[in-house]
Amino acid sequence: MKIVTYNVNGIRAAIKKGLVDWVVNQNVDVICFQETKSQPEQVDMSAFEAAGYHAYWHSAEKKGYSGVLTLSKFPAAQAVVGMGNEKYDREGRVIRTDIQGYSIFNCYFPSGSSGEERHQYKMEFLSDFRPYIDSMRENINPIIVVGDYNIVHTELDIHNPKRKDNPSGYRLEERAWMDEWFGNGFIDAYRSKYPEKIEFSWWSYRAGSRGKNKGWRIDYISVDNQLAEKIVDVAHYKDDQHSDHCALELILK
């Protein structure tokens, strides 16, 4: 089973850059898009439908902002929109789909880069997200949590780990949250296969950062501990450019 997460930074723009052909050629079973910046009626999904995909949306109330979309070649046994918390759900940040015996959570964590108010909102989201997921784990299938977490976990995950400006996304309190997240029930699928390898999933559009590989690893696939032995491989598609992020792929037995 091939699962992909991809922040497309506007799905309509990404489609114009060849996203549909890329998805079809990669033969992806489940692909989770973040930051769609679209309502369902704004996107021509006919090419995805022709390729056999079922679509499950959670769009933000604000047009042109945020939003997640899961496409699956298998119909979902259940699709649950949101976390049941209006504070976050109006921004279109989480959709759960139960597919082939897995509960896949497609998530777009808030960014705090626009200022301290949004960073505080991000920290509140993190504080609420963990108990939400823990409550889900009590009664449902093995969980996979994919998406743009907007957090650099370790110094291996950023090109300039000694920076002093304390940006949101690389603050100690966020990284401590990631320590707890991966230390209590979940595995970083990429690090489980490549514990020391340096790869990134996002690059600023400024100063040719992607070409210089000056990036951050902020997109993750977290798998329930019980799925550890099913991980075959994990890969970044850094050369396929439809966004300022790249796709991240998980292959499960």
Which active-site residues does the annotation give? 148
DSSP-assigned letters across all residues of 73-113: SS--SEEEES-S-HHHHTT--EEEEEETTEEEEEEEPPP-T
Residue whose pair of structure tokens reads 């299938």 in the numeric block: 141
For residue 252, give the amino acid letter: L
CA distance 186 to 208: 34
Both structure tokens of 139: 């009664």
SS (H, E, C) 117-146: HHHHHHHHHHHHHHHHHHHHHCCCCCEEEE
The b-or-e profile of 148-162 (16+ CB within 10 A means b, else e) is bbbbbbeeebbbeee
Question: Hey, what amino acid is at 7?
Answer: N
